[in-house]
Structure 1
Amino acid sequence: MDFKERTIKSEKIFSGKIINVRVDTVELPNGNTSTREIVEHPGGVGIIPITENREVIMVRQFRKPVDEICLEIPAGKLNYGEDPYECGVRELEEETGYKAKNIQSLGHFYSTPGFTNEILHIYMATGLYKGEVKLDEDEFVETETIPLDELVDMVMNGEIRDAKSIIAILKASQLMK
């Protein structure tokens, strides 16, 4: 069966600073029509900075959509057309005050393909050295250094619920064995 849906009509509902929202009318594989609400997002980058001692520099910040303080890897939104690697380098220094001698891709993934086209790119940074913290004016974060093995335990017991952080921690822990 061909599962592809053909777009019949697309209507932009909202244009914002970070996201756009549209509603598409689609023809389904069986010939019927349906609607799809789609959040357009330029994508993002997360970077897991690991010290020589297998400790990870994490950030704590308040996230309004879930109304709580989250423990996450440093991350940021891609600007349209921006190279994900360069975004990762920028976010690492902006949020942690560190630069890295080595930055390795851990891949990319769709955050929630049921309603958004957002793609998240994940990197691992090693060979860390001091740079300069350069937070955005609306960004308030605290850094915390936690052993990688402890972070794996925190993922497994549900203390860390941020998807990009979970993926980066688990992938990095496998690579660092």
Structure 2
Amino acid sequence: MSEADERARLIGRRVLWEGSVGSFGLDTVVLPGGQEAELAILKHSGAAAVVPFLDRDHVVLLRQFRHAAGGTIWEVPAGKLDAGEDPAACAARELAEETGYRAGRLERTGAIFTTPGFTDERIHLFAAFDLTPGATAHEHHEVISSQVVPLARALSMIDSGEISDGKTIAALFLAWRRLAAA
């Protein structure tokens, strides 16, 4: 079966809600096996996340309040792509807004689908190097603080469950793997 044969054919879309994070609706599709189905989907513009390296052994992580997660969690800087925005530009913008740092060098490390069972959200992952400090520009709804963490500690925080955010786990792992290969 070719990749084209493995995709669903869209018959119709009914939007139930639209907001700042995207739109939620029901898609009527013909599945690759030929059967028709109605599937819920959250359409999302995509996002970028970045692991800021102060040096080879230290990263900047955020403690950020997330209502949906029930409190404050550890994360890497990340945010939603603006319409037509390049993922690398988004990563650089979010890095500056959330930590104050500007990247001298940004490397793409990968991309992930967050929850492909109901959303098309894809997060592009980056590592930032040669950082220059500056001022943050948090949005009014963001409750964020940043902290320098040894990379080895950040990786052990994944093992202990202290870091549980999926994009942060993926971003740290891919950035660490990139460093190990260099």
TM-score bracket, normalised by the shorter chain, equals over 0.9
- Is residue 66 of structure 1 aligned with residue 107 of structure 2? no
Distance (Å, rounded) in 2 between the aligned partners of 1:31 and 1:93: 48
Q: Is the 8 A contact 2:63 2:144 kept in 1?
A: yes
Q: % of aligned pairs identical?
A: 36
Is 1:91 paired with 2:77?
no
**Hey, what does 2:41 align to over in structure 1?**
38
CA contact (8 A) 1:107 1:121 kept: yes
Give the deviation of 1:53 after TM superposition: 5.3
* Residue pairs, 1:27-176, within 5 angstroms: 27-52=30-55, 54-176=57-179
Query: How is 1:13-24 mapped onto 2 (pairs within 5 angstroms)?
Result: 13-24=16-27
Question: 5+ unaligned residues in a row in structure 2: which ranges?
Answer: none
Q: Which whole-Å CA distance do the structure 2 matches of 1:32 and 1:172 have between them? A: 41
Contact 2:109 2:178 in 1 (8 A): no
SS of the aligned residue for 1:114 comes to: coil
Provide TM-score, normalisation by structure 1: 0.94
Which structure features the higher share of helix residues? 2
TM-score of the pair, normalised by structure 2:
0.91
CA distance in 2, matches of 1:39, 1:95: 26
Query: How many pairs align?
Result: 177
Identify unmatched segments of 5+ residues in structure 1: none
How many angstroms apart in 2 are the aligned matches of 1:128 and 1:29?
Answer: 47
Partner deviation per Cα, 1:36-68 (whole Å, 9 max, x = no partner)? 000011111111001125111111111111212
RMSD: 1.4
Q: Equivalent residue of 1:88, what SS?
A: helix
